[in-house]
Structure 1
């Protein structure tokens, strides 16, 4: 159990090994990024539940992803930009607020998914993913590709497909990559 992990609640889902470019402007998050970079520590990206409440009162999903800062830059307007890469998934057990409003959590890291050979029935989904990643070249530049790994393919499809956040969150929570691919198959057909 990790205690006091800084949390970055967002209306998005970060997947293991996936890129997340962010512009950081709130002082509490600028400070958090600075501490994470200085201490070489991850922060937790966790989706805000869509319940109509303000972000300060909103509920957080129970599963999120630890993020590692891979790169940073200062924009002309003075905003801090970072590129975070998803690491391990985690389960959120409890949260607290620091005096500056930053949420921190007690989390349990979930084991990484094993690499699973891609069954022939999902080869067309892997081909569709290859085509999508070529279109998104800049964002995925430098990220290792494994188009023959069911886990990697299913996670990339879940993050790239234009599907609702509830579908993305469900995919993050699934522990079986083949089950995730079966779940995504009709959504891949709809997005074509």
Structure 2
């Protein structure tokens, strides 16, 4: 499946997702239920972008222009009556131009970012896969059924960026990095500060 680049739906959130990560979402607004219907019918995904200002349900929102194109991997009716979906990150993208449709849905034209280089976790950051393993044992994270390669610096950095309790702007800064080892170095400092 090729990545669409024109008129792609944008989903502003207060959290980030990176490639191969998963997050559950609850949809209740008509604009997002319509978006889901179109995405499923056209076998397309959408882009999760981090909010700068505004709420997840507000019509007026500003957001970062680097986000992650995601694909829908599961959807179901939740006990609370809302529609629940799980999305998985595909690749990082730049939203070159965005606008709002009459129904309030944000749309954008995208440029895919190059894949990050595949690198093993350097010995000096050997504690980070252990931290990630501990986080992945949490029932909510286990429920997402993410495959994690604890030897891959990209995967360790991506998952820690999503799961660590750090400020959302810090998460965005880590998402925007292209060097997996640089991301691990910054995460190691943040983990030390959390201790």
Question: Could you tell me the TM-score, scaled by structure 1's length?
Answer: 0.92
TM-fit CA distance, 1:51 = 7.0
| CA RMSD of superposed structures (Å) | 1.7
Q: 1:138 aligns with which of 136, 142, 145?
A: 142
**Cα deviation 1:4-53 (Å, max 9, x = unaligned):** 0001111111111111100000001001011111111010100110379x
Q: Which runs of 5+ in 2 are unaligned?
A: none
Give, in whole Å, the separation in 2 of the partners of 1:8 and 1:189: 32
Question: Match of 2:113?
Answer: 110
After superposition, the C-alpha distances for 1:121-155 in whole angstroms (9 at most, x for unaligned) are: 011111111111112453342x2211001111011
CA distance in 1, matches of 2:184, 2:78: 38
Q: Structure 1, residues 62-108: CA drift from partner, whole Å, max 9, x if none? A: 10001100000012332110001111100011112212111100110
Q: Is this contact kept in 2: 1:133–1:140, CA < 8 A?
A: no
**Partners in 2 of 1:61 and 1:129 — Cα distance?**
26
Give distance in 1, aligned partners of 2:144 and 2:120. Answer: 22
Question: Bigger CA drift: 132-141 or 34-43?
Answer: 132-141
Counterpart in 1 of 2:152? 149
TM-score, length basis structure 2: 0.91
Name 1:59's counterpart in structure 2: 62
How many equivalent pairs are there?
Answer: 190
- Structure 1 stretches of 4+ with a deviation exceeding 3 A read none
- In 2, the alpha carbon distance for the partners of 1:34 and 1:6 equals 12
Instruction: Supply the distance in 2 between the matched residues of 1:79 and 1:17 (Cα, whole angstroms).
Output: 25
Unaligned runs of 5+ in 1: none
**Equivalent residue, structure 1, for 2:92:** 89
Give secondary structure in 1 for the equivalent of 2:69.
strand
Verify the 8 A CA contact 1:7 1:43 in the aligned structure 2.
yes
SS in 2 for 1:107: strand
